[in-house]
Amino acid sequence: MTYLLFALIAYVIGSIPSGLIVGKVWYKTDIREHGSGNLGGTNTFRVLGLKAGLIVTSADILKGTIATILPLFFVTEINPLIIGIFAVIGHMYPVFARFKGGKAVATSGGVILGVNPILFAIILATFFLMLYATKYVSLSSMVTGVITVIVTILQNDVGLTIVTTILTIFVIYRHRANIKRILNKTEPKITWM
In tens, the pLDDT along 111-135 reads 999 999 999 999 999 999 999 999 9
Using CA atoms, how far apart are residues 152 and 154, in angstroms rounded to an integer? 5
| Structural domains of the chain, count | 1
User: Looking at the domain assignment, is residue 164 inside a domain?
Assistant: yes
**CA distances for 60 relative to 65, 77, 94, angstroms:** 9, 26, 12
> Domain range holding 146?
2-183
Q: How many Å apart are CA 72 and CA 77, to the nearest integer?
A: 8
Report if residue 145 sits inside a domain.
yes
CA angle 54, 59, 62 (to 5 degrees): 125
- In a 13 Å sphere around the CA of 30, the CA atoms on its Cβ side amount to 4
DSSP assigned state of 190? P
Is residue 83 assigned to a domain? yes
Residue 190 lies in a domain: no
In a domain, 189, yes or no: no
Q: How many CA atoms lie within 13 A of 56 on its CB side?
A: 33
Q: What is the pTM of this model?
A: 0.94
Amino acid at 35: G
In a domain, 97, yes or no: yes
**Measured on CA atoms in the order 109, 176, 33, 88, is the torsion positive or negative?**
negative
Per-residue pLDDT of the chain (193 residues; tens, 9 = 90+): 688 999 999 999 999 999 999 999 999 999 999 988 888 999 999 999 999 999 999 999 999 999 999 998 887 788 999 999 999 999 999 999 999 999 999 999 999 999 999 999 999 999 999 999 999 999 999 999 999 999 999 999 999 999 999 999 999 999 999 999 999 999 999 887 7
Per the domain annotation, does 148 fall within a domain? yes
Nearest residue to 40 (alpha-carbon basis) of 26, 24, 59, 64: 59
Residue 14 belongs to some domain of the structure:
yes
